[in-house]
């Protein structure tokens, strides 16, 4: 199973964030979060952004269940589009999909530091993140080596804001 490092649900690129935001509005199930995100996401006034967004959307008359810790809120399908649009505008400040330019820069810097750390620790095959904020690891053969695992363990601390995702299977 390959790994990528990126912003997970909080996508680095605006187009990806918009696409994921559209999925949020039409999805009918919950997404999965990382163990790092067990508190339910970014905190805002004692509640996660995800929970505040779900509460706000419900206050506007929409069916949005509370997300489980580490999951993104999902709106049930088949709701009035005009109501969804109006609620989305009113609840924008709580939207967990919103990523500021400062956050994007922070994530990109963390990924770049991770890549540098990996190369410093013997993984010359590790490239820098791409323009979309995705850091692809070296090929599977390299990832299965002890030198890669050791370097990854030493360098993970460089990615405080970045979620690790397992891809493929």
Task: Give CA separation, 66 vs 84, 94, 118, 141, in Å.
Answer: 17, 14, 38, 41
Number of residues in the chain: 169
Lowest mean pLDDT among 33-37, 47-51, 101-105, 106-110: 33-37
pLDDT at residue 145 is higher than 90: yes
The mean predicted confidence, pLDDT, of the chain is: 74
Q: To the nearest whole percent, how much of the chain has pLDDT over 70?
A: 68
What average pLDDT does this structure show over 64-81?
Answer: 85
pTM: predicted TM-score of the whole model, two decimal places: 0.49
């Amino acid at each position: 199973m390959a790994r990528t490092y990126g912003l997970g649900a909080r996508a680095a690129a605006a187009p990806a964030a918009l696409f994921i935001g559209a999925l949020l509005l039409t999805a009918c199930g919950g997404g999965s979060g990382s163990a790092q995100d067990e508190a339910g996401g970014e905190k805002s006034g004692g509640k996660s952004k995800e929970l505040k967004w779900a509460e706000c959307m419900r206050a506007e008359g929409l069916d949005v269940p509370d997300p489980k810790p580490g999951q993104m809120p999902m709106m049930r399908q088949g709701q009035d589009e005009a109501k969804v649009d109006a609620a989305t505008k009113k609840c924008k400040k709580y939207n967990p999909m919103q990523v500021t330019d400062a956050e994007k820069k922070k994530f990109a810097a963390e990924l770049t530091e991770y890549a540098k750390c990996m190369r410093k620790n013997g993984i010359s095959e590790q490239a820098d993140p791409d323009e979309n904020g995705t850091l692809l690891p070296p090929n599977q053969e390299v990832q299965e080596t002890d030198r890669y695992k050791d370097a990854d363990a030493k360098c993970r601390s460089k990615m405080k804001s970045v979620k690790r995702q397992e891809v493929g299977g």
